[in-house]
Structure 1
Amino acid sequence: MAHRIEVGFRSELDDPREAGVLAGIRDLGVRSIEAVSVSDVYWLDADLTSAELDAIGARVLSDTVAQVFAWDGTQVRGSEPWLRALVVTYNRGVSDPLEATILKGIEDVGISKGGRARSGVRYVLYGSASTEQIDLVTTQLLLNPIVQHVFQGDEDAFPNEPMYEFSLRRVPLSGLSESDASAIGAGLGLSPDEMKTIRRHYVALGREPTDVELETLAQTWSEHCVHKTFKARIQVDGETIDNLLRSTIMRATRALDKSWCLSVFEDNAGVIDFDGDNAVCFKVETHNHPSAVEPYGGAATGLGGVVRDILGTGLGARPILNTDVFCFASPSTPHDRVPAGILHPRRVFKGVRAGVADYCNRLGIPTANGAIRFDDRYMGNPLVFCGTVGIMPTWAAQRGKQQPGDLVVLLGGRTGRDGIHGVTFASEKLDDTSVNRSRSAVQIGNAIVEKRTIDAL
């Protein structure tokens, strides 16, 4: 049996999320919505008694000092008459990062009935607005329509999921014209020249590539993975620079050849000696494209990625602090000056800041320093530069040497339909369709699982 538990702040207290949502509505140019109430919704697929539901609500899902809860139909925050009340939750097949934590918490309080869990957020809007304005607020602020939807009253909270059946699929490249092959490549972030190389390779093999092989090539050849821009031949002021990365930063580092550089340009992060016994591990990375189309999730997973790289350097470093640099267009830009299909800079600014802050808090890793710059040239694509510092013993700085027969342990959260084509998306040029077309390329972060991974390692 499916149960629904709703949790919200006590009526005499303010939920800071409500002011944030209302400010976001203002940023969309809607001024007639006067107030918003927010509460959390959880669905549990288990045969639970009233006493067990009370225990879960009080001991797992709420802070009873500041919050109240109710189950199976009762709302705790937001009273009629209202303009619109809606609950936002994840689509089928999309990973819900709270599910495992909810089920673990229920088990920890002594209720072991298995089952499934889902989470959502209930928004109640007050004031006046047209149907078009409500749709704008819903799709541009309250949810990401690629991975979330508004829960309907008659919707089954726990539908039966179809079983996956493997089907080997080959992509017939050899019989395609160059323009048709290039069109397939464009959807994978591959250039026409790269597609020609792939076609020649499979012609030589005497067979067509499978869809997985094409996806693998697109991933490994993506801007995100091999930094094609840094490796390119660039002309600046009449000078030709062949491979920007190798001819500048790498060249200077190799020339200096300092003994305290323990591991540089060969692992997931750089490592330098600190005091003879301990080493400092440092990694920075941009997450610009994802943050342009889904600011909160793009920035959060950008930070999660550099923390992961610190964990995966040498024999493993422990992350101790984060840093960041953000560059946006002016947040005071008039709405009529924002190009079609581009998120307003204020929304990007707020989403990126919140994404990094929330992820840092859940990991328990402080942001020690940062910088921010506003320039209208960042209108279409912000700069979101995230970094993490870790510590490790000097003897652990070198990569381990794998041997045939070694076992591989995969750690992480459950995967879903979110994050598909995340790295190939980095090779694409942003345009006025990117926000709606590519939001599913942004993975839903799971800071709790990464925190547990940090503690385990």
Structure 2
Amino acid sequence: MLYRLEAGPRPDLEDVQGRKVAERVRAALGIAVGSIRLVKVFTADGLDETQARRLLDDGVWHDPILQRAALGTLPPLAPPPDWYVEVGFRPGVTDNEGRTARDTAAMVLGIPRERLAVYTALQYRIRNDPAAPLSHGQVETMARDLLCNTLIQRFRIKSAAEWEAEADFPAQAARVTGEARADVAVIPLSTMNDAELAAASRANTWALNLDELHAIRDHFARPDIAAARAARGLPADPTDVEMEALAQTWSEHCKHKIFASAIDYANKETGRRERVDNLYKTCIRDATAILRARRGERDYCKSVFKDNAGVIAFINGYDACIKVETHNSPSALDPYGGALTGIVGVNRDPMGTGMGAELVCNTDVFCFASPFYAEELPPRLLHPRRVLEGVREGVEHGGNKSGIPTVNGSLVFDERYLGKPLVFCGTVGLLPTSVCGRPGWEKKAEPGDAVVMV
């Protein structure tokens, strides 16, 4: 049975987060709202009523000093809201807060956490501006364009009348209901024409172009490969599992195909044309090699292009360890999650460089379209203000709240970033020049070593 626990600020306390959401609705969407109050919703699967009541009475999922809570519906404050919007994750999307709530409940109740599932959602209780009552269309615009990222979340809307008639939202668990299947399909590449190959790539989200698909087909057609597969009882054509593995390995995220490609560049202003063979090698790796050669014995690079982050000589027995990376597309799709993943990733990398660097600070550069963009958005694009605020919050939560201060950065605004923002996240660490008599910037796993993950 599903149990819902709802928690929100006490009536005598200001709902600061709700006020911030209302301000964002007014500023970003130009929609007048009176006020918004937030209610946190926990939906538990795997409890009995006594256990659910204990979680409420003991304040396991809420703060009894600052919040009021209820099993089922948390009674609305007077005057009651005019609209209710509830936003939760889609099935299969990682719900970190739900996992933490599950583990905490399992520990308090003394039950195996494997038998319990918890799903979180956020409910927005919206009051009209008396001078401009909201329509259902305006509320749906608020939900779709600001409160919910439909790529990873879903929302439900109720008017006050619907709420009264149906008494709250029914409990809903974001379960993945599809059944696991062990059968393996064979992809008949050898008999597919170009149109069929392209269609298969689109349908299966392989993101492989025709040249790549031809290369894969030609590989499986080689006599030595065919003979080796036959000897192992494998089909001549690749299986769907093999195609997924190849598509993942050749993806832009893993392979950086654009960086590695030959690019014909034309400067439209001057007419100059240039062919760049591999941006990474030409503009990054080779440029670094040229600078190092010019410095000769004064070269300060200790470790470049071979570990998790770069290391350069610094001062007083320490080297500087620096890592910067982009999270552009992830931040365009999910600003908060994309930016948080980016900053946490570059926090991780200096710790894994050499013998391990101590993290000192973060830096960032963000490039967005204007947060005051007022024209119609192209399909599937988030409003620039929402991207900006999500990215900022993601970097704050992933970096500053981990105890690593963001000490500098830059904000750039240009309408051309509407289609794709640029999100650069960086971390600087200090690495001892020598650790136990060994160079601090070098490491090599040897047989018999103990590997410790912290």
User: Do Structure 1 and Structure 2 share a fold, with TM-score over 0.5?
Assistant: yes
Which range is displaced more, 87-96 or 70-79?
70-79
Residue 199 of structure 2 aligns with an amino acid whose one-letter code is: A
| 2:143 aligned with 1:141 | no
1:329 and 1:382 in contact (8 A); partners too: yes
In structure 1, runs of 5+ residues without a counterpart are 410-455
SS of the aligned residue for 2:242 comes to: helix
SS of the aligned residue for 2:94 comes to: coil
| 2:250 aligned with 1:221 | yes
| 2:199 aligned with 1:164 | no
| 2:85 aligned with 1:86 | yes
- Structure 1 residues 61 and 371, CA, compared in 2 at 3 Å: closer, same or farther? same
| 2:212 aligned with 1:183 | no
- Structure 1 residues 364 and 55, CA, compared in 2 at 3 Å: closer, same or farther? farther
- Residue 378 of structure 1: aligned partner: 417
Structure 1 residue 313 displacement after superposition? 3.0
- Residue 429 of structure 1: aligned partner: none
Q: What is the identity percentage for the equivalent residue pairs of Structure 1 and Structure 2?
A: 38
1:182 and 1:192 in contact (8 A); partners too: yes
Which range is displaced more, 382-391 or 125-134?
125-134
- List aligned pairs for 1:99-138, cutoff 5 A: 99-106=98-105, 110-114=108-112, 115-127=116-128, 128-138=133-143
Residue 238 of structure 2 aligns with an amino acid whose one-letter code is: P
TM-score normalised according to structure 1 size: 0.78
2:15 and 2:38 in contact (8 A); partners too: yes
1:103 and 1:117 in contact (8 A); partners too: yes
Structure 1 residue 130 displacement after superposition? 2.4
* In 1: Cα distance, 2:7 partner to 2:201 partner: 47
- Structure 1 residues 162 and 221, CA, compared in 2 at 3 Å: closer, same or farther? closer
- Residue 364 of structure 1: aligned partner: 403
- List aligned pairs for 1:4-403, cutoff 5 A: 4-27=4-27, 29=29, 31-44=31-44, 45-47=46-48, 48-49=50-51, 52-54=54-56, 56-57=58-59, 60-65=60-65, 67-75=66-74, 78-79=77-78, 81-106=80-105, 110-114=108-112, 115-127=116-128, 128-150=133-155, 153-157=169-173, 164-186=180-202, 187-204=205-222, 205-206=225-226, 207-234=236-263, 235-236=265-266, 237-255=272-290, 256=292, 260-275=300-315, 277-336=317-376, 338-394=377-433, 395-401=439-445
Deviations 1:43-69, CA, capped at 9 Å, x for gaps = 344344587334541xx433444x123
* In 2: Cα distance, 1:319 partner to 1:251 partner: 28
In structure 2, runs of 5+ residues without a counterpart are 157-167, 227-235, 267-271, 434-438
TM-score normalised according to structure 2 size: 0.78
2:56 and 2:71 in contact (8 A); partners too: no
Residue 11 of structure 1 aligns with an amino acid whose one-letter code is: P
2:55 and 2:105 in contact (8 A); partners too: no
Residue 126 of structure 2 aligns with an amino acid whose one-letter code is: L
Deviations 1:166-195, CA, capped at 9 Å, x for gaps = 222222222111122133335322222122
* In 1: Cα distance, 2:206 partner to 2:335 partner: 22
2:357 and 2:431 in contact (8 A); partners too: yes
Aligned pair count reads 405
Residue 356 of structure 1 aligns with an amino acid whose one-letter code is: V
2:362 and 2:425 in contact (8 A); partners too: yes
Greater relative contact order structure (CA < 8 Å, 6+ sep): 1
Structure 1 residue 264 displacement after superposition? 0.6
Bigger Cα Rg: 2
Residue 74 of structure 2 aligns with an amino acid whose one-letter code is: Q
Structure 1 residue 72 displacement after superposition? 0.8
2:91 and 2:174 in contact (8 A); partners too: no
